[in-house]
Amino acid sequence: MTEKDRDNTMLDDLFAAARSDTRQAPPPDLLARVLADAEAEQPTAEAFDTTRVRRPGRWQQFVTVIGGWPSLTGLAAATMASVWIGFSASTTMLPYGLSNLVTGDAELYLTYLETGEFIDDEDL
């Protein structure tokens, strides 16, 4: 609370100092010279390049959003590794093969994960 009061007091002092400033306005010839220099520095129509700026395509925008080509190659490598692991899973990972997991016999795999034992379809 006291810090806000201190800030307000400092601002009030600065505004009071600005109001009591007795310096004179700059001479008109100085302002004319400054404006002449500013006009001389303004670009002309010939200075602008008339070629159209080409925007990047959707693919380039996508690559930029995900972090560039290094990120894209890492994403592709992780995707391909997961696909390879999924389709070449051995029987120790999926005891009845991938086809049973895809066809909907997920109960078998859930009971296997809970108990660690193989259960036949008749036991369910």
Enumerate the domain spans of the chain.
56-88, 90-124
Tokens of 38: 């500013």
d(CA 116, CA 108): 11
106 against 38, higher pLDDT:
38
Give just the sign of the alpha carbon dihedral 28, 31, 37, 38. Answer: negative
Q: What is the mean pLDDT of residues 6-18?
A: 86
d(CA 113, CA 106): 11
Q: What percent of the chain has pLDDT over 90?
A: 29
pLDDT tens by residue, 41-92: 988 777 666 677 788 899 999 999 999 999 999 999 999 998 887 777 655 5
Mean pLDDT, the chain, as a whole number? Answer: 76
**Does residue 116 contact residue 124 with C-beta atoms inside 8 Å?**
no
Q: Residue 71, Cβ neighbours under 10 Å: how many?
A: 13
